[in-house]
Amino acid sequence: MKSIPRLQMAAPTSAGITKGFKLAPLALLPPIPLYRRLLRAHRKHLPSEMRLLGDQYIKSEFRAHRNVENPVHIIGFLTEWQMYAQSLEGDSWIGEQMDVGKIDKMSDQQLGQLYELMQAIRKKQLEDGESSEE
């Protein structure tokens, strides 16, 4: 009878872990299941005002990228949205700031969209502050 060599336990490594010990996405979801997952995550984890704004943003982004044919762009798009869904589902997004490296890589159009999103959030916060004072 042959003896079977004993397998050693795997040692933990930093492979597959991103900054802040968050797990990197293992496999990319196809666009439609990812889209549905994002809307479900918004429904479950966001207050109604944030959900409305977030749902509109997701819908417009997925519509805008519907006909993109560059595989690198598609992979980047799906990866970022999947990481967003994971962070939203894990509540690690609360109070988190954007990575400076990601901001540096953004185009002028993306920076403009980010600025518009920031303005919409601030406007909503001001409206909520004024209505609570009354």
Per-residue pLDDT of the chain (134 residues; tens, 9 = 90+): 555 555 444 444 444 444 455 555 468 889 999 999 999 999 998 888 889 889 999 999 999 999 999 999 999 999 999 988 988 888 666 677 778 888 898 889 989 988 988 888 888 888 877 665 55
DSSP secondary structure letter of residue 42:
H
Dihedrals phi, psi of 97, to nearest 5 degrees: -100, 155
- pTM of the full predicted structure? 0.61
CA dihedral of residues 52, 110, 59, 116 (deg, nearest 10): 30
CA distance 18 to 27: 15
Residue 28: predicted pLDDT: 84
